[in-house]
């Protein structure tokens, strides 16, 4: 099993799609860092901003006696409704304290990346016909599947930790050199690391979901198509038609894991443990279905 | 000892629109250890399905298979390290180099880089070993497949059409390689549609048609068309030679530019003497052997007309 794992790991690392993905993401991070650094600055307030603020304070937006909640004074309301950044001015410096939120915003792409890498890891093998060759070297199919699943899960997790780490480091550099590093709080870095690990874990689960579907369909394209159709359409319909089932939907539970808590994602809140277990159960169920399919169907 | 034992192998496939297709129908086959065993049959005869069943890629509908004494598929993993194989066109990762493909496969059974270089040299791919497989010609992919099959230093090779896509020089190389492997004491189970290659390399053959075994045995026996033997004699004056042989009590018939004599090759001296005694001298005397292609076509045609 160890030799098989080593062989699969070597193949995972040598795959063009993994290398291209990693390089493309690193280039995007570098570009994003440069653009972020360029835009991270305090701009002068524009004439238009000052004009709009005056109009607001004159009660032309809302009369002083009809202020919406939670505003008590017209000044408070106008400070919120008319901001300098809306008119090309104000403090646009990158705030390091927002780093966890930035990572969470990127999480969707990371999880989809994990799904694609997992699906293509076995889909490419079926497409090229190399599964036949592999099985003439290791005929124990469950071992083959277990090795592939383990390598995909660990490989995607490590890859995403590295890429997200590079992203976080880049943004930290932007904040240190041209942004704001105040107000981080005592547990800031723990929060960053926790967010990063949870996103990578979800990407790892996504890779197992992609791998499982690709093992059943024997095609990367079919696996990705089914994955997107399910997450985008089927779960959307379930969410609308059967709200009670939301607790068991993959996308919603992934969202809870990524955010670290259920912040209004579910109609009836769930715990982080519930969400993590549900995501793991999805991955396990698809792997079991893949194992049954792989074991019983002819190859070639 | 038999290295391959197949008893009553049947493989059926369900058709999409109902019904079943029988790919292999109750095949019994035994392949002795050592030497080259040719496995012949027209397209769709069930050769590749049989090989896939032997390698555990396809589940038999019924029947029993044993490979190197191990039950297939249950105990296949115990002997797979001693079996090298090619199934149809070898499939390796097109974006990896030939060397990396073999290194990844070799790693599964602890085969080191030195062995990879060695087998690449054996099949004449040393110079292209570090090119991506997708840039290889069909013949080069076939060579790489043979290299992969040899990588485990197997005691048994199962080669499904190994000469597919090879140029004439490549075919000769594969023929010599197969002969050499057989002579080394390995068992080479080879299916091919190039019958002349099998005729010149195999010790025994089995001919399959419509999923059934129609002939099996040593190549010479199969070529003798069920035991019928004869001699072909060429002389200048065929009618005079026929009369001279008749006078010596030897039956002969004129067939084109030669005489056909229904005697075994051991009777050659008697025929020579009978003709020489009457002043007739031989232009040619040889056993009346047909080639494998003729036997193959006859046997498989019979099977087609009597399904």
The Cα B182–Cα B202 span in angstroms is 9
B104 contacts on A by Cβ (under 8 Å): 7, 10-11, 14
Phi, psi of A180 (to 5 degrees): -120, 130
Report the alpha-carbon distance of residue A262 to residue A207 in Å, rounded: 23
Q: Residues of A numbered 122-151 whose beta carbons fall under 8 angstroms of chain B's beta carbons: which are they? A: 124, 128-130, 132-140
Q: Give the nearest chain A residue to B54 (CA atoms).
A: A136
Q: Is the pLDDT of residue A270 over 80?
A: yes
Q: Give residue B185's pLDDT.
A: 87
| Mean pLDDT of the A240-249 span | 88
Q: Is B97 on the interface with A (CB under 8 A)?
A: no
Q: Which residues pair with B187 in a beta bridge?
A: B35, B156
The answer on pLDDT for A80 being more than 70 is: yes
- Give yes or no for A14 touching B (CB within 8 A): yes
Nearest chain B residue to A12 by CA distance is B104
Q: Which residues of B are less than 8 Å from A294 in CB distance?
A: none
Which comes out higher in pLDDT, residue A185 or A80? A80
| Three-state DSSP class for residue A285 | helix
pLDDT tens digits for B255-273?
Answer: 888 888 888 878 888 999 9
Instruction: Determine the pLDDT at residue B222.
Output: 77
Give chain B positions within 8 Å (CB) of A151: none
pLDDT at B179: 87
Please classify residue A57 by burial: count the beta carbons closer than 10 Å to its beta carbon, then call 0-12 exposed, 13-18 middle and 19+ buried: middle
pLDDT band, very low/low/confident/very high, at B55 (cuts 50, 70, 90): very high
Say whether B107 and A136 touch across the interface (CB within 8 A). Answer: no
Window from A227-231, B62-66, B227-231 with minimum mean pLDDT: B227-231
Looking at the predicted structure, is the pLDDT value of residue A225 above 90?
A: yes
Residues of A within 8 A of B56 (CB-CB) are: 135, 139
Distance from CA of A151 to the nearest CA of B (A): 14
Q: How many CA atoms lie within 13 A of B171 on its CB side?
A: 15
Confidence band of B296 (pLDDT split at 50, 70, 90): confident
pLDDT, residue B305, reads: 58
CB contact under 8 A, B56 and A6: no
The minimal CB distance from B104 to the residues A7, A132, A139 is found for A7
Please compute the mean of the pLDDT values over residues A257-270 and round it to a whole number: 77
At residue B224, the pLDDT reads 67
Whether the predicted pLDDT of B304 surpasses 70: no
Distances B58 to A145, A294, A298, B31, B65 between C-alpha atoms, Å: 17, 11, 5, 20, 12
DSSP string for chain B = -EEEEEEEEEEEEE-TTSSEEEEEEEEEEEEESSEEEEEE--TTSSHHHHHHHHTTSS--SEEEEEETTEEETTTHHHHGGGEEEE-SS----TTSBHHHHHHHHHHHTT--HHHHHHHHHHTT-GGGTTSBGGGS-HHHHHHHHHHHHHTT--SEEEEESTTTT--HHHHHHHHHHHHHHHHTT-EEEEE-S-HHHHHHH-SEEEEEETTEEEEEEEHHHHHTTTT---EEEE-S-HHHHHHHHHHTT---EEETTEEEE-S-GGGHHHHHHHHHTTT---SEEEE-PPPHHHHHHHHHHHHHH--
Give the pLDDT mean for B40-55: 89
Greatest mean pLDDT among A116-125, A268-277, B11-20 lies in A116-125
Interface test with A, best of B93, B134, B142 (most A CBs within 10 A): B93
Average pLDDT over residues B93-117: 90
User: Is residue A217's pLDDT more than 80?
Assistant: yes
pLDDT at A228 over 60: yes
Integer Cα distance of A187 and A191 in angstroms? 6
Mean confidence (pLDDT) of chain B: 86
Of the candidates B180, B151, B31, the one whose C-alpha atom is nearest the C-alpha of residue B81 is B151
Cα separation, A206 vs B200, in Å, equals 55
DSSP string, B21-66: EEEEEEEEEEEESSEEEEEE--TTSSHHHHHHHHTTSS--SEEEEE
Of the candidates A4, A6, A300, the beta carbon closest to that of B57 is on A300
Percent of chain B whose pLDDT exceeds 90: 34
Return the residue matching tokens 């004009």: A51
Give A95's DSSP letter: B
For residue A144, the distance in angstroms to the closest alpha carbon of chain B comes to 11
Mean pLDDT over residues B145-160, rounded?
91
Higher local confidence (pLDDT), B200 or B108: B108
B103 to chain A: which residues are within 8 Å by CB? 10
Residue B47 has pLDDT above 60, yes or no: yes
Nearest-by-CA chain B residue for A1: B108
Pick from B57, B109, B110: which is nearest to A299 by CB? B57
Contact state of B80 with A128 under an 8 Å Cβ cutoff = no
Chain B residues near residue A139 by CB distance under 8 angstroms: 55-56, 73, 76-77, 80
Chain A residues inside the 8 Å CB shell of B159: none
Comparing alpha-carbon positions, the chain B residue that sits nearest to A125 is B93
Confidence of residue A2 (pLDDT cuts 50, 70, 90): confident
The pLDDT assigned to B302 comes to 62
Q: Residue A67, class by beta-carbon neighbours within 10 Å (0-12 exposed, 13-18 middle, 19+ buried)? A: middle
Q: With 80 as the cut, is the pLDDT of residue B85 above it?
A: yes
Rounded Cα distance between B233 and B265, Å, is 11
Task: Give one DSSP letter per residue of A214-230, joined into a string.
Answer: HHHHT-HHHHHHHHHHI
- Partner residue opposite A132 with nearest CB, options B83, B87, B100: B87
**What's the Cα-to-Cα distance from B35 to each of B70, B156, B219, B263, rounded to whole Å?**
20, 10, 12, 30
For B201, other C-beta atoms within 10 Å of its C-beta total 23
Q: Which residues of B35-50 are buried (b: 16+ CB within 10 A; e: fewer)?
A: bbbbbbbbeebbbbbb
Proportion of chain B above pLDDT 70, given as a percent: 94
Does residue A96 surpass a pLDDT of 70? yes
CA distance A157 to chain B (A): 22
- Among the partner-chain residues B87, B93, B100, the one whose CB lies closest to the CB of A136 is B87
Residue A142 pLDDT greater than 80, yes or no: yes
- pLDDT of A209 higher than 90: yes
**Which residues in chain B have Cβ-Cβ distances shorter than 8 Å to A300?**
52, 57-58, 87-88
The reported pLDDT for the residue numbered A280 is 95
The chain B residue lying nearest A10, using CA atoms, is B104
State yes or no: pLDDT of A250 exceeds 60.
Answer: yes
**Choice between A200 and A50, residue whose per-residue pLDDT is larger:** A200
Average pLDDT over residues B236-241: 90
């Amino acid at each position: 099993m160890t030799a098989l794992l080593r062989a699969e790991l070597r193949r995972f690392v040598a795959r063009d799609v993994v290398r291209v993905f990693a390089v493309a993401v690193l280039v995007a991070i570098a570009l994003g860092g440069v653009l972020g650094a360029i835009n991270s600055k305090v701009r002068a307030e524009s004439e238009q901003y000052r004009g709009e603020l005056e109009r607001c304070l004159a009660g032309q937006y809302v009369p002083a006696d009809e202020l919406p909640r939670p505003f008590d004074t017209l000044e408070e309301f106008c400070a919120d409704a008319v901001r300098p950044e809306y008119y090309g001015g104000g403090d646009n410096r990158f705030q390091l304290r927002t780093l966890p939120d930035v990572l969470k915003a990127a999480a969707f792409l990371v999880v989809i990346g994990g799904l694609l890498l997992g699906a293509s890891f076995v889909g490419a093998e079926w497409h090229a016909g190399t599964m036949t060759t592999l099985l003439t070297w290791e005929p124990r199919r469950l071992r083959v599947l277990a090795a592939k699943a383990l390598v995909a899960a660990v490989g995607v997790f490590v890859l995403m930790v590295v890429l997200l780490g590079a992203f976080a480091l880049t943004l930290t550099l932007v904040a240190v050199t041209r942004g704001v590093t105040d107000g981080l709080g005592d547990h800031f870095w723990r929060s960053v690391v926790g967010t990063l690990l949870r996103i990578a874990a979800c990407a790892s689960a996504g890779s197992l979901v992609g791998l499982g579907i690709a093992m059943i369909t024997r095609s990367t394209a079919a696996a990705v198509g089914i994955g997107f159709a399910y997450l985008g359409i089927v779960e959307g319909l379930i969410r609308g038609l059967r709200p009670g089932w939301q607790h068991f939907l993959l996308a919603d539970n992934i969202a809870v894991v990524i955010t670290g808590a259920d912040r209004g994602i579910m109609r009836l809140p769930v715990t982080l443990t519930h969400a993590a277990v549900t995501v793991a159960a999805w991955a396990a169920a698809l792997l079991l279905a893949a194992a049954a399919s792989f074991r019983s169907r002819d190859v070639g | 000892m038999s290295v391959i034992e197949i008893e009553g192998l049947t493989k059926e496939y369900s058709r999409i629109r109902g019904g079943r297709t029988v790919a292999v129908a109750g095949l019994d086959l035994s392949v002795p250890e050592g030497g080259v065993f040719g496995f012949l049959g027209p397209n769709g005869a069930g050769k590749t399905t049989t090989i896939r069943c032997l390698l555990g890629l396809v589940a038999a509908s019924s029947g029993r298979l044993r490979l190197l004494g191990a039950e297939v598929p249950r105990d296949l993993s115990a002997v797979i390290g001693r079996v090298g194989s090619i199934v149809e066109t070898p499939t390796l990762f097109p974006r990896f180099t030939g060397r990396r493909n073999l290194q990844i496969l070799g790693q599964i059974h602890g085969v080191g880089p030195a062995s990879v270089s060695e087998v690449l040299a054996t099949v004449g791919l040393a110079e292209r070993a570090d090119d991506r497989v997708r840039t290889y010609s069909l013949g080069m992919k076939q060579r790489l497949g043979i290299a992969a099959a040899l990588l485990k230093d197997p005691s048994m090779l199962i080669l499904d059409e190994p000469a597919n896509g090879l140029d004439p020089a490549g075919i000769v190389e594969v023929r010599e390689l197969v002969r050499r492997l057989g002579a080394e004491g390995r068992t080479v189970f080879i299916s091919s549609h190039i019958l002349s290659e099998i005729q010149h390399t195999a010790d025994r053959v089995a001919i399959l048609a419509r999923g059934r075994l129609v002939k099996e045995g040593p190549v010479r026996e199969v070529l003798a068309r069920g035991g019928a033997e004869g001699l072909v004699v060429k002389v200048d004056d065929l009618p005079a030679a026929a009369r001279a042989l008749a006078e010596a009590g030897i039956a002969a018939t004129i067939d084109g530019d030669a005489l056909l004599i229904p005697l075994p090759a051991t009777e050659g001296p008697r025929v020579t003497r009978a003709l020489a005694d009457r002043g007739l001298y031989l232009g040619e005397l040889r056993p009346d052997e047909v080639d494998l292609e003729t036997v193959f076509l006859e046997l498989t045609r019979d099977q087609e007309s009597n399904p």
